[in-house]
């Protein structure tokens, strides 16, 4: 990396520290861009707003939207964000990235631009075998910054009940191979009132199998299309049973001597939670209501309820902007930041979000039922 680029990246990081949640028009580019490359998936995870069978009639704005991002479009977007000094792009999908026929070319393009690449997968055995993808990942082990996957329990029944269509045994085998190769793994565990007791067992299983990873314990985005995604299943401040599971998990993770690194969730109702996504990152994702021909360049914050249930279907299209700063300071994004700084909610569905509930106009006044 040239000295000039390094100096600019350092300056951007300083601006981020000074401007985050303070000003609406920013002097630094997004810290992170997630590029969703395709909607094809082998799973129907219970919580998934795109593929859960319950999402179909459950009010999801994204269920069943079909698209595949062409390689040429992917490359031009990576080049655009790299030229705009976005420090990190992440390959993801409202689906399984390894179902995209050009996935390895995409990973290699990110490596060519950034030196490293990160991506998401559920490691379906048939899909991975079809492209000999595990060997190809291992060949690039030095250039892979990390791989993200979901893991919902330390045994098959609990995991597969939530990650419908996936195989716990296959996932565990793959994680062992990746961990033995020294590849950094990030496991996402969504904690709820229903499944919090799975967490200690998960840590025990990972440790027993010698798998090193960072385990992100995350609160649920309650999309409200089935019992798992109901408001009543969300981890709230004061949930003693969940606090006890988290404490047990903390102690178990500590005993692994850093094999398992744990990050903890923000409970619903936490008074210090703030919506900071519009200062941090942006994502390319399809949403109902935008031009389907532009799904592969449609910008959203992430898959929160403002997008999945509310009215936030587009923050712009990548190719409409001459550079990253024009995109990042577009009128929609500046207006959203201005609202949040004034204590107002960006969307009528923010009441259902741990970091939006306290904002004025979050819609909470129109909601009956959920116990906060
Ligand atoms: S693997 Fe991911 S995209 Fe596929 S159904 Fe599950 S959560 Fe949705
Ligand atoms: S507060 Fe609203 S816009 Fe912010 S992350 Fe939550 S749902 Fe999304």
Tens-digit pLDDT profile for residues 205-254: 999 999 999 999 999 999 999 999 999 999 999 999 999 999 999 999 99
* CA count, 13 A, side-chain hemisphere, 155: 7
* 302 φ, ψ (degrees, to nearest 5): -170, -175
Residue 356 lies in a domain: no
Q: How confident is the model at residue 370 (pLDDT cuts 50, 70, 90)?
A: very low
Ligand 1 atom closest to residue 44's alpha carbon, by position in its atom list: 5
Of all ligands present, the nearest one to the C-alpha of 52 is: 1
* 80 φ, ψ (degrees, to nearest 5): -60, -50
Residue 366 has pLDDT above 70, yes or no: no
Question: Residues for the chain: how many in total?
Answer: 372
Distance in angstroms (rounded) separating the CA atoms of residues 316 and 139: 37
Query: 121 alpha carbon to ligand 1 midpoint, in Å?
Result: 9
Residue 293 lies in a domain: yes
* 160 φ, ψ (degrees, to nearest 5): -75, -20
Residues 75-133: tens digit of each pLDDT: 999 999 999 999 999 999 999 999 999 999 999 999 999 999 999 999 999 999 999 99
Neighbours of 210 (CB within 10 A): 11
Distance in angstroms (rounded) separating the CA atoms of residues 239 and 226: 21
Residue 371 lies in a domain: no
Structure-model confidence comparison of residues 360 and 252, the more confident one: 252
Q: Calculate what percentage of the chain has a pLDDT beyond 70.
A: 97
Query: 217 alpha carbon to ligand 1 midpoint, in Å?
Result: 17
Query: 150 alpha carbon to ligand 2 midpoint, in Å?
Result: 22
Residue 105 lies in a domain: yes
Distance in angstroms (rounded) separating the CA atoms of residues 233 and 320: 40
Residue 355 lies in a domain: no
Query: 303 alpha carbon to ligand 2 midpoint, in Å?
Result: 9
Neighbours of 325 (CB within 10 A): 17
Q: How confident is the model at residue 369 (pLDDT cuts 50, 70, 90)?
A: very low
Whether residue 237 contacts residue 199, with contact meaning beta carbons closer than 8 Å, is answered with no
* CA count, 13 A, side-chain hemisphere, 218: 19
Distance in angstroms (rounded) separating the CA atoms of residues 360 and 338: 13
| The two three-digit tokens of residue 350, written as one number | 């923010």
Report whether residue 159 contacts ligand 1, using a CB cutoff of 6 Å. no
Adjacent-strand bridge partners of 38: 68
Residue 364 lies in a domain: no
Residue 372 has pLDDT above 70, yes or no: no
Report whether residue 275 contacts ligand 2, using a CB cutoff of 6 Å. yes
The rounded radius of gyration (Å) of the Cα atoms in the chain is: 20
Whether residue 11 contacts residue 259, with contact meaning beta carbons closer than 8 Å, is answered with no
Residue 260 lies in a domain: yes
Ligand 1 atom closest to residue 166's alpha carbon, by position in its atom list: 1
Q: What angle do CA 264, 90, 56 make, to 5 degrees?
A: 75
- Write the residue with the smallest CA distance to atom 2 of ligand 2: 350
Residue 356 has pLDDT above 90, yes or no: no
| The two three-digit tokens of residue 91, written as one number | 């390959």
Residue 258 has pLDDT above 50, yes or no: yes
Of all ligands present, the nearest one to the C-alpha of 363 is: 2
Whether residue 260 contacts residue 86, with contact meaning beta carbons closer than 8 Å, is answered with no
Q: What is the pLDDT of residue 67?
A: 93
41, 64, 96, 225: which to mutate for ligand 1, most atoms within 8 A of CB?
A: 41
Number of structural domains in the chain: 1
20, 301, 363: which to mutate for ligand 2, most atoms within 8 A of CB?
A: 301
* CA count, 13 A, side-chain hemisphere, 151: 30
Distance in angstroms (rounded) separating the CA atoms of residues 146 and 182: 10
Segment holding 283, helix H or strand E: strand 281-284
Ligand 1 atom closest to residue 120's alpha carbon, by position in its atom list: 2
- Write the residue with the smallest CA distance to atom 1 of ligand 2: 356
Distance in angstroms (rounded) separating the CA atoms of residues 157 and 180: 25
Residue 363 lies in a domain: no
Q: CATH number, domain at 47?
A: 3.20.20.70
> Residue 286 sits in which domain range?
3-344
> Crossing angle of helices 198-208/240-255, nearest 10°?
10
In which order are the strands placed within the sheet that holds 144-150? 260-263, 213-219, 185-191, 144-150, 117-120, 89-92, 32-36, 281-284, 299-300
Ligand 1 atom closest to residue 52's alpha carbon, by position in its atom list: 5
């Amino acid at each position: 990396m040239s000295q000039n680029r390094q100096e600019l990246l350092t300056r951007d990081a300083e601006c981020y520290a000074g401007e985050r949640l303070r000003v609406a028009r920013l002097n630094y580019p997004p810290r992170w861009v997630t590029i969703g490359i395709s909607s094809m998936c082998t799973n129907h995870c219970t919580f998934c707003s795109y593929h859960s069978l319950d999402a179909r009639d459950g009010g999801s704005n994204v269920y069943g939207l079909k698209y595949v991002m062409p390689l040429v479009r992917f490359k031009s977007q990576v080049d655009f964000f790299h030229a705009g000094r976005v420090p990190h792009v992440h390959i993801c999908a409202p689906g399984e990235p390894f179902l995209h026929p050009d996935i390895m070319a995409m990973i290699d393009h990110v490596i060519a631009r950034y030196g490293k690449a990160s991506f998401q997968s559920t490691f379906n055995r048939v899909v991975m075998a079809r492209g000999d993808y595990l060997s190809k990942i291992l060949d690039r082990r030095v250039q892979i910054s990390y791989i993200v996957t979901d893991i919902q329990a330390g045994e098959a029944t609990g995991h597969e009940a939530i990650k419908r269509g996936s195989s716990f045994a296959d996932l565990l085998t793959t994680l062992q191979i990746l961990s033995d190769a020294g590849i950094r793994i990030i496991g996402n565990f969504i904690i709820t009132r229903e499944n919090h007791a799975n967490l200690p067992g998960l840590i025990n299983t990972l440790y027993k199998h010698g798998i090193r990873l960072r385990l992100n314990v995350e609160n649920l985005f309650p999309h409200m299309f089935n019992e798992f995604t109901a408001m009543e299943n969300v981890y709230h401040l004061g949930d003693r049973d969940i606090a006890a599971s988290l404490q047990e998990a903390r102690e178990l993770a500590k005993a692994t001597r850093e094999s398992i690194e744990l990050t903890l969730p923000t409970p619903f109702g936490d008074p210090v939670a703030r919506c900071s996504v519009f200062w941090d990152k942006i994502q390319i994702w399809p949403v109902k209501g935008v031009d389907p021909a532009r799904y592969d360049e449609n910008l959203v914050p992430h898959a929160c309820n403002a997008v999945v249930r509310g009215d936030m279907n587009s923050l712009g299209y990548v190719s409409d902007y001459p550079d990253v700063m024009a995109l990042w300071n577009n009128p929609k994004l500046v207006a959203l930041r201005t609202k949040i700084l004034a204590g107002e909610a960006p969307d009528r569905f923010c009441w259902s979000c741990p970091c939006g509930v306290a904002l004025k106009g979050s819609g909470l006044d129109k909601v009956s039922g959920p116990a906060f």
